[in-house]
Amino acid sequence: MPAFRHLLSPGRINGMTLRNRIFFTPMGSNLAEEGGFSGEKLKDYYEERARGGAALITMGSVSIGYPEGASNWRQEAISDDRYIPGIRAIADAVHAHGAKLAVQLHHAGLLAMHDMLEGRPLACPSPPQASKDSGDFVDVMLEEEQARFFEPYATMGEVKYDALSAQQIERIVQMFADAADRAKRAGVDAVEVHAGHGYIFSSFLSPAYNRRTDEYGGSVENRARFLLDTIKAIRAAVGPNYPVWMRFDSQEFLMDNGITVEDAKAVALLAERAGLDAIHVSAHGDGNRGATYSTGHATDIRNGFVANAAAIKAAISIPVICPGRIEPEDADRFIAEGKLDFVTMGRKLLADPHLPNKLAAGTPDKVRPCIYCYTCISNIFNSKHVICAVNPLTGYERERAQYPAERRKTIVVVGGGPGGLESARLLANKGHKVILCEASSRLGGTAQFASVAYEPNQRIVDWLKNEVARADIDVRLNARVTPELIASLKPDQVIVATGAKRTMPAIPGGNRDFVFSGDDMRNLVLGQNLESLRGKTSGITRTAMKMGAITGATGKLEVLRRASKVWMPIGKRVVIIGGELVGLELAEFLAARDRTVTVLEEGTRVGKGLQLVRRFRVIDECRHLGVAMLTQVSDVRIGDHLVTYTNEDQQQRTIAADTVIVAKGATGDLSLAEAIERLGYPVATVGDCTGVGYIEGAMRDAALAVQTI
Ligand SMILES: Cc1cc2nc3c(=O)[nH]c(=O)nc-3n(C[C@H](O)[C@H](O)[C@H](O)COP(=O)(O)OP(=O)(O)OC[C@H]3O[C@@H](n4cnc5c(N)ncnc54)[C@H](O)[C@@H]3O)c2cc1C
Ligand SMILES: Cc1cc2nc3c(=O)[nH]c(=O)nc-3n(C[C@H](O)[C@H](O)[C@H](O)COP(=O)(O)O)c2cc1C
Ligand code: SF4
């Protein structure tokens, strides 16, 4: 039986036929032009996903009242006929590649940032009650993020609320119907009503937000009345044959009195009876809690909403569309089992818009994987446009496009981490002759260590290695590049991607045998340079790690991760000095392996380097695992299995430690690049050697460097 037979089989919603079951999920991108217009940037972004083979592209969060009811910085609008030409251009571009286009009709209600900033009251069922718990949003944000996030609100007056009257509700119903009619006139194939994620309909559906006692509050039927009136008005505007569906919360997590799956089933049935053609399942939670954004709609949990989708599907007879970290093989199975009909993919198609075509071509291993780092959605929180950490072209489809080289050059790429691998891959695709030199015996660089700490990173390492193996690249392992080596190779150009330099900060007692630097940890985990660990680990440990390295076990990161659950040469009580990305990921990894972990961070916040939405998640998980995360810590000293420090209240404290890990001190290192340049060779620098920029920075640098060669 052909792979992905069910996922790739055609589908139908109302009269619309779809070439497969994969939809590009609605995602606010902040790629619109000033004033909410859909321009070239948006067109390029959506067109690329259509070219990649998705059956349907959804324009995410398109404002029906712009600027009224709009939430995002650069949100696209459909509130006036002036917006039709831009949307029509997108429809034409998407159609040219055989895909269909839907528009997600959106009014943000309580979350309408534009209303807040422009002094309009926020549309809601009832004014929200002051919460006893203000959540962790502000505490987790870095100071620079807070400044960016709150700056627009600095001159804003008091927030006002409009508990909508029946007349006001009628007006918004008409705005949705007019917008749907506009979409149809713009050549759009379908509309989706955004009824989830804390926005206007979601606040009416949620018992936690809707405290009305009139016909719009109380029972499920009453809470759904506004939504159902809207569906009926849209149906009247677009006619019986035009596909209309809604996206809504199948559940509200992390809060009391939120929407339940039973509520959702009832609402779905009412919506079907009101004239909907399909139901798109999602979820939300308490918007004040950071973990909501990786528990609700952009879930961190594989197949996070499938059980809810299946329960809803059993209650209705129209198709069910389901998102939420669904791998293609899972999607295929769920469709076969009748749990859902269509799958929406968001992050996977940001990472690789051509996923559907690659499945159809029988090459799923060529799909560039998402690493669930949440850079994309964190950018939306930070009022920037969408990007993807592993795909530098996302949001820059035209600006960063790579074209075949005019002249084939010989290029030496130094370093086999993400930056070097991506550079080599792109250069070979352009037609250059590439020599990739890696000092160690394995490709992957520091990202191999990063993959032990956070499993999804392994996927991009594997993908890069496979792509490099497939390409015509001269890969040289155990090849430490020196200026002399470059002089002997005489390349036209050198790309230096040698990673960060990790120096041990001057911490009193830092030379004790239970203190591990970043390099010590990397060597220990990867079974490399084990002799440098003499005195810190027993001979037995070093032999075991060496055997692992020789037999390939520590080269297989999954084996390492599993083995580390049983045995790891790290003591029971661990103190990690440095609470940025690396410190926190290690803390989570070790705490999940039964270590008692304390993180000491000198700054005011932990988690720098983690993107906001992932930082919320990691901090939340660390808290659940009992990790103590202390900030504004100074004067750290290491004694005999003790660490002393001064806490934020200027009190001196001491904790016991069997192992101390120093997770700081990584800086850029351009010494090799400068030495090669002095010989007269053109050099481009990529990745952490220019300053720690993580996987996103390494991939971006590679794309920008290769574009100019
Ligand atoms: C524990 C841990 C967890 C992390 N988690 C994440 C995460 O979740 N997300 C994220 O984005 N980032 C994470 N990082 C950071 C990420 O791994 C790096 O930012 C990324 O690998 C940088 O890529 P790079 O190609 O610039 O350098 P590296 O990956 O460091 O690769 C540089 C390569 O160059 C080689 N090299 C050096 N000198 C020479 C020479 N002279 N000749 C030949 N080869 C040479 C090195 O051997 C190495 O293989 C983590 C790091 C650590 C330590
Ligand atoms: C950058 C980004 C923006 C999003 N914006 C929206 C949006 O505007 N409307 C919406 O309904 N969901 C939005 N979502 C949620 C996605 O539609 C989707 O449900 C989520 O990403 C989970 O699916 P995935 O695992 O395939 O990415 C957004 C998600 C991301 C990552
Ligand atoms: S930015 Fe990260 S989470 Fe978002 S799509 Fe790209 S890899 Fe996935």
pLDDT digits (tens, 9 = 90+) for 672-689: 999 999 999 999 999 999
pLDDT at 538 > cutoff 70: no
pLDDT at 442: 95
Q: In this prediction, what percent of the chain has a pLDDT beyond 70?
A: 95
Q: How far apart are CA 397 and CA 349, in angstroms?
A: 13
pLDDT at 532: 73
pLDDT digits (tens, 9 = 90+) for 428-445: 999 999 999 999 999 999
pLDDT at 174: 98
Instruction: Evaluate: CB of 61 within 6 angstroms of ligand 2.
Output: yes
pLDDT at 517: 87
Atom of ligand 2 nearest to the CA of 380: 1
The binding-site residues of ligand 1, defined as CB within 6 angstroms of any ligand atom, are 373, 414-420, 437-440, 445-447, 449-450, 453-454, 457, 480-481, 497-499, 581-582, 585-586, 672, 687-688, 692, 694-696, 698
SS3 content of the chain, % helix, strand, coil (to 5): 40, 15, 40
199 part of the active site? yes
Q: Where are the domains of the chain?
A: 11-381, 410-500+668-707, 515-666
How far, in Å, from the CA of 435 to the mean position of ligand 2? 39
How far, in Å, from the CA of 96 to the mean position of ligand 3? 27
Least confident of 121-125, 412-416, 450-454, 545-549: 545-549
pLDDT at 558 > cutoff 90: no
How far, in Å, from the CA of 638 to the mean position of ligand 1? 28
pLDDT at 57: 98
Average pLDDT over residues 179-193: 98
Residue of 45, 199, 209, 216 marked catalytic: 199
Ligand 3 pocket: which of 352, 355, 370, 451 to mutate (most atoms within 8 A of CB): 370
The binding-site residues of ligand 3, defined as CB within 6 angstroms of any ligand atom, are 347, 350-351, 370-376, 388-390
pLDDT at 2: 75
Q: How far apart are CA 242 and CA 236, in angstroms?
A: 10
Q: Which CATH class is domain 410-500+668-707?
A: alpha beta
Instruction: Evaluate: CB of 328 within 6 angstroms of ligand 2.
Output: no
Burial (CB count within 10 angstroms: exposed 0-12, middle 13-18, buried 19+), residue 402: middle
How far, in Å, from the CA of 26 to the mean position of ligand 2? 6
Pick the CATH number of 515-666 from 3.40.50.11540, 3.50.50.60, 3.30.465.10, 3.90.45.10: 3.50.50.60
pLDDT digits (tens, 9 = 90+) for 442-482: 999 999 999 988 999 999 999 999 999 999 999 999 999 99
Which tokens belong to 368? 């560039």
Atom of ligand 3 nearest to the CA of 372: 3
- CB atoms under 10 Å from CB of 675, counted, come to 15
- CB atoms under 10 Å from CB of 639, counted, come to 13
Question: How many whole angstroms from its chain centre is CA 192?
Answer: 23
User: What DSSP string describes 562-578?
Assistant: HHHHH--SS-SEEEEE-
pLDDT digits (tens, 9 = 90+) for 116-152: 999 999 999 999 987 666 688 888 999 888 888 888 7
DSSP 43: H
pLDDT at 291 > cutoff 80: yes
pLDDT at 147: 84
Same fold, 410-500+668-707 and 515-666: no
- Quick one: which of 294, 296, 293, 295 has its CA closest to 284? 296
pLDDT digits (tens, 9 = 90+) for 37-69: 999 999 999 999 999 999 999 999 999 999 999
Question: 418-430 vs 456-470: helix axis angle to the nearest 10?
Answer: 30
Question: 446-453 vs 557-566: helix axis angle to the nearest 10?
Answer: 50
Q: What is the largest CA-CA distance in the chain?
A: 83
pLDDT at 549 > cutoff 80: no
Average pLDDT, the chain: 94
Ligand 3 pocket: which of 374, 422, 460, 696 to mutate (most atoms within 8 A of CB): 374
Average pLDDT over residues 357-373: 98
Atom of ligand 2 nearest to the CA of 344: 26
What number does CATH give the domain 11-381? 3.20.20.70
- Quick one: which of 299, 301, 308, 298 has its CA closest to 340? 308
Average pLDDT over residues 364-390: 97
pLDDT at 20: 98
Atom of ligand 1 nearest to the CA of 440: 47
pLDDT at 242: 98
pLDDT at 542: 60
Instruction: Evaluate: CB of 70 within 6 angstroms of ligand 2.
Output: no
Q: In this prediction, what percent of the chain has a pLDDT beyond 90?
A: 86
pLDDT at 38: 98
Ligand lying nearest the CA atom of residue 440: 1
Average pLDDT over residues 593-605: 96
Ligand 3 pocket: which of 299, 302, 350, 422 to mutate (most atoms within 8 A of CB): 350
> Is 527 within 8 Å of 551 (Cβ atoms)?
no
Q: How far apart are CA 579 and CA 140, in angstroms?
A: 13
